Structure 1
């Protein structure tokens, strides 16, 4: 279900955007900007999503997310005007808030508490194949029946697969969760940890979104042909999955070390792409390894630092800055690409990666002390 929902929302326009723009005549910036609208909708609803998980366990909500995304795809298939197309992405954004990683992690935290780590790692491992599986299938369907019927077919598949959540997720008792911990509460996450974590997650999400949207264009700007750029970009998927497999084999360790490894790999990878053209492939592999760990860190690090009940309530609140950053990223990258070229985009990403590394290093001693690593 995670593969299907990710493929039908966040990753969909990567392969469907150009056919939509070509058929409708709408500007590409409007078509791809619809994803920003969906992400902003998801950001605004993220705290509400976590509160609903805390009250009802998340089982029905996750199942409903597929239905909501399916409804958005159906509206998109029927859209003849740009406002209706944008409305479709508002609906898809609601589904993203209800059913992507933040809601899933909160649900698993409610179900399994400290034992949720293994489930989170396993699910993010398999979900790493989302683009590998959905992009070729969606592209093939567009060639066969067009993008509108592809949306309808994808929506039907989501509806048919929705009972999977109801089948595999058990009922969970209602959790007594405070949306905002009281000042001085010993169970609350220390502000010295909370704010840096917010920025670490937000910067990681921004970098990931920028690379997802701009990588092929940036590589072409560095002198690679389209075929070469696509081949190099294809290194990311296997690298992300490989890092998650290695993490599962490495055994149990505190997630702060995984976070440190992740930001180091991302920073080194981006610097190699920017400064060592002959090592672009190596840089992308390192970036992919680091980014693969990032999704796991986002679920496991807060779980290691706060009680499960508080974790459920805080996931939505902590995800909002990341989602807002992701919504703004395509527009910011487009501006940098237009005015400063590929190196402008890469330079900005390298700076963000360095800031993220500094933030992780700054909280490492405090996390080690408070969590007795």
Structure 2
């Protein structure tokens, strides 16, 4: 009997999932800020009320990520990714009809669950299981395409709102997710995964969640990515006030931040073209060490060119950290329970991301200004790099 092709359907499956990541990230993560001002004008709600809905969505994302990973481990990856896109579409449709804050919060509770079912990690877990010999290549492709989500989002949402108003724009986005992305996910992941499953090189390759929890590697990686996620979320929540504190106008701030996306994509593209032979551990140490350096550069920078240097370094590191995060967990713990292990690890970080904007605002009350806040964030980012450098693959179960 002919052995199954370990690359069967690789190109089409990864291509469809990459397109899904592009659209889901644009809709579920980046689009919210574009609707804040139109909703505020139309409904008269204040910004804390509106921002609270997004915070709730991020918290639900963190709270549900383990259950999503467990479902993928049980072989339900197709239902997770297709169902998540459908749920996102229904959430956007419901959002377009809100007339009271509780309705918006209910919508974002649904959309938070949809985030957990669609954004990066479930797709990483699915391709890791379907293509065990090429999952790192697949993760690189997914992040490379997904990196354009912020570039796509804002002009697309602006055009939709100009044509249909904010409620109509939400309906249109919901239709794309429910009628476009969900069926494509279902099509790409149809049937069994026709892949070869090479034997694990040692017993640790199939570590269960219980076994992983008993290793220093799990807790060091959890600490690393929790600190990184907190720092990233805190920075982006406060980036415009931080620029204003430096005396920069909004246009000057945007002239700096516009470099973030291209740097992120450039880093991923360079890795896709020339980075396959680079150890994930070495790559992780380098890019995580770049984060505190970038934040220090932002703290002390006072000119647009200096801050563009920050944006390039920050974007490059941020783009590559996503690849490291997605590929290292199966390398350290194996693929059999990657959904549960990755989900448990991510849950803490995602909850930290939800809390980061508020905790940073409290921190600001006790410090002299944003220069000092950036210094604290740089120290936390350095802690993430140290934790990562200390990770060692467990020798036995």
TM-score (norm 1): 0.91
Q: How far did 1:335 drift?
A: 3.3
Query: Equivalent residue for 1:295?
Result: 322
Q: Aligned partners of 2:158 and 2:374: how far apart in 1?
A: 28
* 1:78 counterpart SS class: coil
How many residue pairs end up in the alignment? Answer: 362
From 156, 167, 173, the equivalent of 2:187 is 167
Asked if the contact 1:109/1:312 (under 8 Å) is kept, the reply is: no
Q: CA–CA distance in 2 between the matches of 1:167 and 1:294?
A: 30
Mapped to 2, the partners of 1:123 and 1:270 lie a distance apart of 27
Matches within 5 A, 1:178-193: 180-182=209-211, 188=212, 191-193=215-217
Aligned to 1:242: 266
Q: Provide the C-alpha distance between the structure 2 equivalents of 1:109 and 1:361, rounded to a whole number of angstroms.
A: 24
- Superposition CA RMSD, Å: 2.2
Unaligned runs of 5+ in 2: 1-19, 198-205
Q: Distance in 2 between matches of 1:260 and 1:179?
A: 26
1:139-150 correspondence runs (5 A): 139-150=158-169
Is the CA contact 2:88–2:178 (under 8 Å) kept in the aligned structure 1?
no
Contact 2:299–2:370 (8 Å) recurs in 1 = no
Q: Do 2:87 and 2:178's aligned partners in 1 also have CA atoms closer than 8 Å?
A: no
Residue 63 (structure 1) aligned to one of 60, 76, 82: 82
Whole-angstrom CA distance in 1 between matches of 2:259 and 2:237: 15
**1:124 partner SS:** helix
1:259/1:294 contact within 8 Å kept: yes
C-alpha displacement of 1:333 = 3.1
Partner of 1:264: 289
The DSSP-based 3-state class of the residue aligned with 1:223 is coil
1:354 aligns with 2:382: yes
Deviation of 1:190 (Å)? 5.9
Q: Cα deviation per residue 1:274-305 (whole Å; 9 max; x = unaligned)?
A: 12323211111101100011111110111211
By how many angstroms is 1:211 displaced? 2.9
Deviations 1:299-358 (A, max 9, x none): 011121122102232111111011101111122233345664422432232121121122
1:196 paired with 2:220, answer: yes
Note if contact 1:58-1:107 (Cα within 8 Å) is conserved in structure 2: yes
Q: Does the 8 Å contact 2:65/2:343 carry over to 1?
A: yes
- The SS at the match of 2:267 is helix
C-alpha deviations, 1:202-225, integer Å up to 9, x for none?
122222222332222211221111
Matches within 5 A, 1:1-373: 1-161=20-180, 162-172=182-192, 180-182=209-211, 188=212, 191-248=215-272, 249-278=274-303, 279-337=306-364, 340=367, 341-363=369-391, 366-367=392-393
> Per the alignment, do residues 270 and 100 of structure 1 end up closer, same or farther by CA in structure 2, a change over 3 Å counting?
same
Change in Cα spacing, 1:345 to 1:72, as seen in structure 2 (3 Å) is farther
Distance across 2 between alignment mates of 1:96 and 1:277: 37
Deviations 1:26-70 (A, max 9, x none): 120121121110111111111110111111340121011111111
Task: Give SS of 1:10's match.
Answer: helix
Q: Distance between the aligned counterparts of 2:242 and 2:381, measured in 1?
A: 17
- From the superposition, tell whether residues 345 and 70 of structure 1 become closer, same or farther in structure 2 (CA, over 3 Å): farther
Contact 1:21 1:27 in 2 (8 A): yes
Distance 1:295 1:28 in 2: 30
Question: Residues of 1 paired with 2:144 and 2:356: CA distance?
Answer: 25
CA distance in 2, matches of 1:178, 1:195: 15
CA distance in 2: counterparts of 1:163 and 1:44, whole angstroms: 26
Deviation at 1:140, TM superposition (A): 2.5
Query: Whole-Å Cα distance in 2 between the matches of residues 101 and 312 of structure 1?
Result: 12
